[in-house]
Amino acid sequence: MKIVVIGASTGPGRVLYEQLTHSSHEVIGIARQARGLDAETGNARFVELDANDTHSVIALVDDETTLVHCSRPELLTALLSQAPAVRRIIAIGSTRIYTRFPDDKCSRLSAMVHKLRMGNIPTTLLHPTMIYGAPGLHNVERVAAFARRSPWIPLPDQGRSLIQPVHVDDVVAAIMACIDNPETNGDTIVLAGRAALPYREFIELCIEKSGQHCRVISMPYLLMSIAAFFTPLIPGLPNVTQDEIRRLLEDKQFDTSDMKSLIGREPISLEDGLVL
């Protein structure tokens, strides 16, 4: 099998690519920057390429290729417009597509999903929740950075909304399972952590594991929305957008039964995942 991974230098794409270098498959990794990856490792080779260059990407695939997309959704949307000749696609989306507060990323995800469904290439869609534990992703690190710069982290509504982060190892295990199982073609599977927990507990766990000393406090939504405008002005403090503030008000809780069947085990708990 020939496997082409778009987005192979960061996040789950990098972890997947590094695992595939030990397989018997012919593997090609694509990303704009190598970020320390060797040009060739075993049966795998890395191509420094901007996936916006759809013609160059198409030149790397053929009708025996399994294309794994782990990058921005608009890149796959553009590639599909050029009708690539691939055997199948495994696309990483996001549970952002289910939000009650759609933003630009949600629109780009929806466009990608629509393009996949309108096409005739067998596809498996994987929608992960917030991914942590992967190189190049900074979801947990943002919390630690905030804790270093501020004595407190505010959350609306006592931080009671639910969140269900998923560890990168579970995301990659799901992708590998889909590669090995073409019967997943046509499936849409949510990838989430073992159990949902309140945002407050998530933030407190991140603070504890980072060794910082910071309190989580409740703040009215309107005041948080105003405060978010000033985050870009404070050196070292992560920028917080209005869309992020709105999404703090919704539960992100998902059934993991399909995921457990796919990877053959329980997803990693947040407590365990933060120390991996």
Q: Looking at the domain assignment, is residue 258 inside a domain?
A: no
Q: Which residue numbers in the chain have pLDDT < 50?
A: none
Boundary (domain end) residue, out of 89, 121, 153: 121
At 158, list the tokens.
Answer: 């006592």
User: Residue 100 is part of a domain; what is its CATH number?
Assistant: 3.40.50.720
Helix (H) or strand (E) holding 259: helix 257-263
Same domain for 147 and 84, yes or no, is: no
Same domain for 93 and 153, yes or no, is: no
Q: Looking at the domain assignment, is residue 126 inside a domain?
A: no
Same domain for 231 and 148, yes or no, is: yes
Distance CA 275, CA 132 (A): 11
Same domain for 203 and 96, yes or no, is: no
The string of DSSP letters for 5-60 reads EES-SSHHHHHHHHHHTTSSSEEEEEES--TT--SEETTEEEEE--TT-HHHHHTT
The pair phi, psi for residue 190, each rounded to 5°, is: -85, 135
Alpha carbon dihedral 14, 19, 20, 23, in 10-degree steps, equals 170
Boundary (domain end) residue, out of 121, 152, 172: 121
Q: Looking at the domain assignment, is residue 244 inside a domain?
A: yes
Same domain for 116 and 154, yes or no, is: no
Alpha carbon dihedral 192, 170, 155, 94, in 10-degree steps, equals -60
Q: Looking at the domain assignment, is residue 214 inside a domain?
A: yes
Q: What is the predicted pLDDT for the residue at 202?
A: 95
The count of structural domains within the chain is 2
Helix 199-210 with 139-149: angle, nearest 10 deg: 70
User: Residue 147 is part of a domain; what is its CATH number?
Assistant: 3.90.25
CB 203 within 8 A of CB 183: no
Q: Looking at the domain assignment, is residue 190 inside a domain?
A: no
Q: Which residues span the domain enclosing 145?
A: 139-163+195-252+269-273
Same domain for 75 and 157, yes or no, is: no
Same domain for 92 and 12, yes or no, is: yes
Q: What is the predicted pLDDT for the residue at 150?
A: 87
Boundary (domain end) residue, out of 121, 155, 180: 121
Same domain for 10 and 117, yes or no, is: yes
Q: How many residues does the chain have?
A: 276
Q: Beta strand pairing status for 40-41 and 123-128?
A: unpaired
Same domain for 107 and 155, yes or no, is: no
Same domain for 97 and 200, yes or no, is: no
pTM for the whole thing?
0.94
Q: What is the predicted pLDDT for the residue at 190?
A: 98
Q: What is the predicted pLDDT for the residue at 237?
A: 79
